[in-house]
Chains A and B, each alone.
Chain A
Amino acid sequence: MNVRRLAAWIALPAAVALGVSACGGGSDTGGGSTNGGTVSVNLGEPEHLVPSNTVESEGHQVVVSLWTSLVNFDGEGKPVFDQAAAESITSSDNRTWTVKLRDGMTFHNGEKVTADTYINTWNYAAYGPNAQIGTDFFSRIEGYDDLQTGDSPNATPKAKTMSGLKKVSDTEFTVTLSEPFAEWVKVMGYNVFAPLPAAAYAADGTLKPDFENAPIGNGPFKMKGTWNHNQNITVERYQDYSLTKPKVQEINYKIYQSQETAYNDLLAGNLDVQRVIPTSRLASAKNDLGDRFRSTPSSYFGYITVPSYIPAYNKPQIRQAISKAIDRNEIITKIFAGGYVEAKSWVSPVVEGARDDTCGDACVFDPTKAKELWTQAGGVPGNKLPLYYNSDGGHKEWVDAVCNQLNKNLGVQCVPSPVAQFADLRQQARAHTLQGLLRGAWSFDYPSIENYLTPLYATGAASNDSQYSNPTFNQTVQQGDAAPNTAEAIQKYQAAEDILAKDMPTIPMWYRQNNFGFSPNMKTVDLNLFADLDVLTLERN
């Protein structure tokens, strides 16, 4: 029948095509020639690449390739200046800081990096109408409030420059804060403080909208071509970089929609480095990759927020009961394949002044005691305990596990409640309509205890989802801010953490490691405390 012949007509060329293409095989990720070669690294599609607008991890990774910070940090989170854009940052009173820039640094387009560059960039970022997402980081600088529009968004701010920024010379400027803050030097290491060249601005002083498609920075790598949205971003070694040049010639940030797909690409040899191995593959990663699977410390802190606006949850026994009913280590073993570490405090161990066990007995797994405390306190209304989380973050597995444990150990009906986005949850929390526990996580912006305290627990702070408000806590933290030196500041911050341990506005769960993997082409791959791939030490075989 002609039907059969028709089928044959199709099958034959298809088979030939398949056969021919099968010889194609995997792609070549770039040779390791003497010039250092190309390394492919996975990335999610960034939101922005303008440093003052970049506060998420993917954009952050690209920004730290293209820009050099004023200050770097060692493995313990202490400021170091040897590969930084600043030669030194000093202050005698923790209020006025003198920044001495390294001489000879240039932007990728040849422009010199001067004190003016920094002052102009920071004023732009702080100026309210420019709507830079990272603007809050400048709020401690004197004069910041004059650049805000206040209550009416259409008003013009009083000033365009902050009075706290003063140029001393081409390579030196001072930053005066409105209040003394011992940790300020660390804050300036965050990427929002990176300078922009004059070429970034249009004639009217606003940023060229096209600038972030091909950003120009002062870092070890420069953009090669433009940002291919949803596909890739390629950066290449900046030959005129005045500090130690990177070892690889080129980094190709390949953009993936799914971590699992990136992992499959890594296994197939099409990807050199995966910065975050998905939780579901952590168990098999050790087998698949052997010693090409690494875990290094990161600043990530996972916790569960308890809503302070619901009276039933305010009894300390309730919070302790919940905390003691969760077997964190079992979840870490079974779900995270050991890639996380149990948290018994509210500050990640990677920062100076962190203590191991501030939570004490309240974080010790003891189901019997937990049930006692729970019954004593009278449980929660309706015996229903929703645990909210955003469904797009890969949290379902551990949330389900926590709920199962709470069900079993407290006899409560814990309901895992996914919501499409974290933004919704935060809004509901702020509106006091969230009726249960909420998952939360925090990675530091700069390596300081203070960064685990103020943004999460200060009254009205932007990430304070529990709506916790304790004046003593606020005062203690402010005393730490005003302390004359780091050691005394840390003492105060530790006292503040002790207040948290008593009140338990959040229940500590775990600290995450950087769990990453790489292909056999790579010699050195490292991820730092910021969960950034270290682009300077990156090296091919």
Chain B
Amino acid sequence: MFRYVVRRLLQMILVFFGTTFIVYALMFAGRSDPIQALAGERPVSPQVRAQLTEQYHLDDPFFVQYANYMANLLRGDLGTQLSGRSIAGILQQAWPYTIRLAAISIVIVVVFGITAGIIAGIRRGGIFDNGTLALTLLVIGIPVFVLGFFAQYLFGVRWKIFPVTGGAGTFYALLLPAIVLGALSLATAIRLTRTSIAENLRADYVRTARSKGLAGRRVVGVHVLRNSLIPVITFLGVEIGNLMSGAVVTERIFNIPGVGYQLYQGILLQDGPTVVAIVSILVIIYLICNLVVDILYAVLDPRIRYE
């Protein structure tokens, strides 16, 4: 197991370089005029343009720029935006919001998703099951921005239960955005868990356990649950990263100054360094989550061995 983990950590380095390269290339390919993007609709004088091009090496060939960027990144220097602001400083302020938002979201998804999935799986065809199906449809069929603005208006403006914006950063301010953000993941987790549980409940070993006289609680809680959780955990492991990178719309609606906003602005303003910096950190998070999930497989299923 130890060697496995070490191998994975080494492979992480490869993945890190692979992803940052692709994203950097995408930003570069999509870049037309980041300097003009800075000034918006106002004109940019040739002097300013020349100055900024020089300062940020915008005219250098692709590989030179990439090599420079990666060299700096590995030294910990995330660079500055074209507007002069330090990217590290920006991210330092933005990441806590996104992490908090994603954490609250994933907790909601895990707790409510798995619980509801279990109940729905046990009572297949019942009211609860059909209810969760309806909820799933609602959440999938209604895109996140509709859900978000609607929830904001209903719960923030009309009924005043939650604050309209999540900018305060407190648990309570982030709760509604977290629910909106996690809604789709919640629906998928419920469906996955329900299916898994329903399948496993029909397994022979369950019949055996029951006929042996084990209490239903033990059958489900100890045996069925463990078997059912593998696909769900697989899904959730990836969701943490997805929640962070996909929070663009939610952060916009609830005015949360997190990483999603910076990513969106970075893409729009053709700001390669910012986007790649954010993606680098996201990649590391994905990699760690995947590693944890793979280790969890071994825990849940003793037949899975890593050497």
Which residue of A2, A22, A264 is within 8 Å of B221 (Cβ)? A2
Contacts of A135 in B (CB 8 A): 45, 47-48
Question: Among the interface residues B39, B41, B221, which one has the most CB atoms of the partner chain A within 10 A?
Answer: B41
With the chains together, A463 CA to B47 CA distance in Å?
16
Chain A nearest Cβ from B255, distance in angstroms? 5
A170 within 8 A of B: no
Given known pairs A56-B42, A153-B51, A229-B257, the reply for A3 and B115 (CB within 8 Å) is yes
The segment from A111-119, A180-188, A418-426 that touches chain B is A418-426
- Do the beta carbons of A441 and B41 come within 8 Å of each other? yes
B103 within 8 A of A: no
Q: Which residues of chain B from 27 to 77 have a CB within 8 Å of any chain A CB? A: 32-34, 36-45, 47-48, 50-55
Name the residue of chain A whose CB is nearest to the CB of B119.
A3
Residue interface mask B220-254, A partner, CB < 8 A = 1: 11000000000000000000000000000001111
- Do the beta carbons of A258 and B252 come within 8 Å of each other? yes
Given known pairs A231-B257, A421-B269, A462-B43, the reply for A265 and B217 (CB within 8 Å) is no
With the chains together, A267 CA to B36 CA distance in Å?
36
Chain B nearest Cβ from A107, distance in angstroms? 23
Chain B nearest Cβ from A507, distance in angstroms? 18
Which residue of A7, A268, A423 is within 8 Å of B157 (Cβ)? A268
B17 within 8 A of A: no
Q: Which residues of chain A from 487 to 531 have a CB within 8 Å of any chain B CB? A: none
Which residue of A148, A209, A267, A455 is within 8 Å of B43 (Cβ)? A455
- Do the beta carbons of B42 and A268 come within 8 Å of each other? no
Which residue of A7, A231, A258, A462 is within 8 Å of B253 (Cβ)? A258
Which residue of B36, B54, B165, B269 is within 8 Å of A265 (Cβ)? B165
B299 within 8 A of A: no
- Do the beta carbons of A24 and B47 come within 8 Å of each other? no
Name the residue of chain B whose CB is nearest to the CB of A155.
B50
Name the residue of chain B whose CB is nearest to the CB of A18.
B161
- Do the beta carbons of A423 and B37 come within 8 Å of each other? yes
A179 within 8 A of B: no
With the chains together, A4 CA to B221 CA distance in Å?
11
With the chains together, A22 CA to B84 CA distance in Å?
42
A203 within 8 A of B: no
- Do the beta carbons of A133 and B161 come within 8 Å of each other? no
The segment from B1-9, B148-156, B278-286, B288-296 that touches chain A is B148-156
With the chains together, A21 CA to B175 CA distance in Å?
11
A-side interface residues, number (CB < 8 Å): 60
- Do the beta carbons of B47 and A6 come within 8 Å of each other? no
The segment from A69-77, A124-132, A158-166, A378-386 that touches chain B is A124-132
Chain A nearest Cβ from B266, distance in angstroms? 12
A471 within 8 A of B: no
- Do the beta carbons of B268 and A421 come within 8 Å of each other? yes
Contacts of A149 in B (CB 8 A): 47, 50
B-side interface residues, number (CB < 8 Å): 59
Contacts of B43 in A (CB 8 A): 136, 455, 461-463
With the chains together, A265 CA to B157 CA distance in Å?
7
Residue interface mask A43-66, B partner, CB < 8 A = 1: 000011000000110000000000
Name the residue of chain B whose CB is nearest to the CB of A157.
B47
With the chains together, A266 CA to B124 CA distance in Å?
46
A357 within 8 A of B: no
Name the residue of chain B whose CB is nearest to the CB of A153.
B50
A270 within 8 A of B: yes
A257 within 8 A of B: yes
Given known pairs A258-B255, A423-B37, the reply for A1 and B42 (CB within 8 Å) is no
Chain A nearest Cβ from B64, distance in angstroms? 18
- Do the beta carbons of A153 and B53 come within 8 Å of each other? yes
Contacts of B39 in A (CB 8 A): 55-56, 133, 423
A15 within 8 A of B: no
A260 within 8 A of B: yes
Contacts of A475 in B (CB 8 A): none
A156 within 8 A of B: no
Contacts of B257 in A (CB 8 A): 229-231, 255, 257
- Do the beta carbons of A256 and B164 come within 8 Å of each other? no
Chain A nearest Cβ from B55, distance in angstroms? 8
B93 within 8 A of A: yes
- Do the beta carbons of B156 and A268 come within 8 Å of each other? yes
- Do the beta carbons of A133 and B44 come within 8 Å of each other? yes
Given known pairs A25-B160, A26-B163, the reply for A131 and B52 (CB within 8 Å) is yes
Contacts of A24 in B (CB 8 A): 163, 172
Name the residue of chain B whose CB is nearest to the CB of A147.
B47
Chain B nearest Cβ from A455, distance in angstroms? 7
A90 within 8 A of B: no
- Do the beta carbons of A257 and B156 come within 8 Å of each other? no
- Do the beta carbons of B83 and A1 come within 8 Å of each other? no
Contacts of B209 in A (CB 8 A): none
- Do the beta carbons of A209 and B84 come within 8 Å of each other? yes
- Do the beta carbons of B268 and A231 come within 8 Å of each other? no
With the chains together, A5 CA to B254 CA distance in Å?
34
With the chains together, A132 CA to B37 CA distance in Å?
15
A472 within 8 A of B: no
B122 within 8 A of A: yes
- Do the beta carbons of B261 and A136 come within 8 Å of each other? no
With the chains together, A22 CA to B118 CA distance in Å?
30
Q: Which 9 A-B pairs have the closest CB atoms?
A: A462-B43, A153-B50, A230-B257, A131-B51, A423-B36, A423-B37, A128-B47, A268-B157, A257-B252
A-B contact pairs, 22 of them (CB 8 A): A1-B220, A2-B217, A3-B119, A3-B220, A4-B119, A55-B39, A55-B42, A56-B40, A128-B51, A129-B51, A130-B51, A131-B48, A131-B52, A148-B47, A230-B94, A230-B257, A256-B165, A258-B252, A268-B157, A270-B164, A423-B36, A463-B41
Add 15 more A-B contacts to A153-B54, A258-B252, A422-B40 (CB < 8 A). Answer: A3-B118, A6-B115, A21-B172, A22-B161, A131-B48, A132-B48, A133-B48, A135-B47, A153-B51, A229-B257, A257-B251, A257-B261, A258-B253, A264-B152, A270-B165
Residues on B lying within 8 angstroms of A by beta carbon are: 32-34, 36-45, 47-48, 50-55, 83-85, 90, 93-94, 111-112, 115, 118-119, 122, 149, 152-153, 156-157, 160-161, 163-165, 167, 172, 216-217, 220-221, 251-255, 257, 261, 268-270
